Structure 1
Amino acid sequence: MLFILRMALMGVHFIIAGVLGLLVGICRPFNPDNSRICARIYALPALRILNLKVKTQTEGLRDHAKSCVVIANHQSNYDLYVLGRVVPYRTVSLGKKSLKWVPFFGQLYWLAGNILLDRGNARSAKQAMLKTTETLKHKNTSIWVFPEGTRHPGPQMLPFKKGAFLMAIAAGVPIIPVCTSTYANRLRVNQWNSGTIMIRSLPEIPTIGLTIADVPALIETCQTQMQACIEAMNKELSGA
């Protein structure tokens, strides 16, 4: 019964948040801080509805004053609500072009200034890469990327794709990893307390002076650090 009630409330909330987000986007279209505002609109009420506790240690991400590439592990659609709490100022994300046509959410995602990619079109993908480099270099805006490229609920991350790292190197901006404890298969939405999740940001990893040849080592460094952080948070939450 509690599960059904929560899902009904979440459905209503999704629609209301979409409408409010659209109004924000219409009032100031493509403002890069729209993403942060819309993320909060989705996240804060949803976490209350779910009675989901999120512990954050993301001061380094929050206080970072210059453009960067944020990379995070991607577990489920609930990331919209979980990670929405920690999206920093003037940060946009990369998303599939098809998201534009999702009712309510897709239109506000576009108006929020996020970058839409047509992954099946090489020319379009190249233009998007140039756009992201320009954004990072000259618009005081950061870009949030899920380097795994798809949702993965398990504790072990999938291999990272190169795009985020090529962007960071091309723009000469640092990478800030953001790690979320494993939660996708552990939510107890049918219980009063749905669970506890931890989010931590790691120290920035500089890319100045790096080249394409350094990408494999950079990926390995980021993934190793993130995997260790996720495992440490999982142990902490399990009381081990």
Structure 2
Amino acid sequence: MLIKQRFVLDTSAFTDVELRNKLGDGDLTKTIENMVDLIAKARTKLNISCHMPPVTYKELIDYISLYDCPEEIKTRLDTWIVKKTPNRYETKIPSQIFYEYVRDMRERINKGMKIAEEMIWEAATESLVMKSRGHERQKIEVNTIGEAIREFRKKYRSALRKGTLDSAPDLDVLLLAKELDAGVVAADTGIKSWGERLGLRFLDATSFPKMIQEYLKYYR
């Protein structure tokens, strides 16, 4: 009997753009079909099980519903993905990790505030210049304020969200992996960064199917 291996999958383990290009020729439905085939073979032949927290699984189903994926895909996912809520009360996380997370978020908030201040000054200055040149209010709002808001959102999102845990599904993935002593599969840099801090095995979304395919070459 092969040693049991467990992996906890993030939504990005199915939806990552690079994964789609490599595994499904850019098509989401084809990518998920190929992933499910590999997961089924891994479970039946290699004693590898793939898990998702319910909140993360719902996020995946909601996502593929937007792309009108066939109902059969959802049925197959429901069959081969093990859904389990992490034990949030008993799973132990070192206090140092919590300390580092709070410090990281404080630094990101300060950075976000600085970005907001800079964008306000830029938009206000440009608006005054345009007004002094006789531009109409509507043009100022569209060309200056509207563009400033779009640029602010892009910079703010990058400052506060990139490379950290910014949602309940992300956190549940790590908690479940910690509880099950499982590997984590994702294309999310925040999950990777904090998963490694927790001492969890991490596989990039594009590496996981390659690993399964390599294992299957030697299956007898």
Structure number with greater Rg is 2
Where is the helix percentage greater, Structure 1 or Structure 2?
Answer: 2
Looking at both structures, which has the greater relative contact order when contacts are Cα pairs under 8 Å and sequence separation is at least 6? 2
Using the size of structure 1 for normalisation, the TM-score is: 0.23
Using the size of structure 2 for normalisation, the TM-score is: 0.24
